[in-house]
Amino acid sequence: MSKPLMIIKTGGRAAENSGALRHLAEEIKELSRSYDFLLVHGGGAAVSAIQKTYGIEPVFKDGIRMTSEKEMDLVDMGLAGLMNKKIVRLFSSCGLLSVGISGADGSMLTGEPIGEGSRTGRITGSDRKIIDLLLQGGFTPIVSPVSSDSRGGALNINADEAALALGIACKADTIVFLSDIPGILNSGELIDRINEPEADRLIEQGIISGGMIPKVRSSLKALHEGAGTVVIGEYINQGDLNNLLKGNKGTKIWLK
């Protein structure tokens, strides 16, 4: 019988802490008797830095990057290139057999632009075949969220939304969103558990804003679609995955 799947989504800034990422790889190895793992990564901060070197000012709406045709090449460079290979090399050096792919590979994620002339995408379809093949072969898939539209054009997909879509496609048991903050904060205080009405209220009040919005919305949708556990938090020391799952760290998301 196959093991339950845990999807770990790491944000760009969190993934730049190579010490923490090494600890995470070690913990994944330890827990791989109980779970299959798939890692989805962001890299928003790296993309913004690349944009700035080209004199482009990043534009976000509710935490989602507005992406022009010209900017899309930079997004591919930053996410499918730089970030993806950095993580694959690091995980491999920890003894985890890892394969770096993007949403475009194996038509894993397909989508459509959110508007005329935009390369920011919304996901409309998914195919888990490539993931099943890799997991059966003993590989850990490392997924960058860039994907394709129906005409083969590149699409920039928010990494939280990519993690959600893969979670639904693969019926993930657990989704862990790792970021550069201890969890969802209110006036600097960590909220250790939050339900849907409370999350909606904090978004409405602007207490949950920016990049935290797609994370929270994706978390709630994942629970509606049958995920057992969804948690948002940060990974610093080995054992933090276990701490996040047990509720000793981070914010657990609930529907009611």
**Of 68-76, 97-105, 133-141, 207-215: span binding ligand ADP (CB under 6 A):** 207-215
Beta bridge partners, 253, equal 194
Tell me how many residues contact ligand X2W (CB under 6 A).
17
Please identify, using beta-carbon distances, which residue of 11 and 100 lies nearer to ligand X2W.
11
Q: Does 64 bind ligand X2W (CB under 6 A)?
A: yes
Q: Out of 4, 95, 210, 226, point to the residue binding ligand ADP (CB under 6 A).
A: 210
Q: Does 208 bind ligand X2W (CB under 6 A)?
A: no
Cα–Cα dist 104/132, whole Å: 16
User: Which 3 state secondary structure label does DSSP give 219?
Assistant: helix
Cα–Cα dist 107/244, whole Å: 32
Tokens representing 84? 């993806």
Which of 133, 124, 82, 127 is CA-nearest to residue 106? 127
Q: Does 110 bind ligand X2W (CB under 6 A)?
A: no
Cα–Cα dist 200/137, whole Å: 41
Q: Does 50 bind ligand X2W (CB under 6 A)?
A: no
User: Which 3 state secondary structure label does DSSP give 47?
Assistant: helix
Q: Does 145 bind ligand X2W (CB under 6 A)?
A: yes
Q: Which residues bind ligand X2W (CB under 6 A)?
A: 11-12, 42-44, 47, 64-65, 75, 79, 120, 145, 156-159, 211
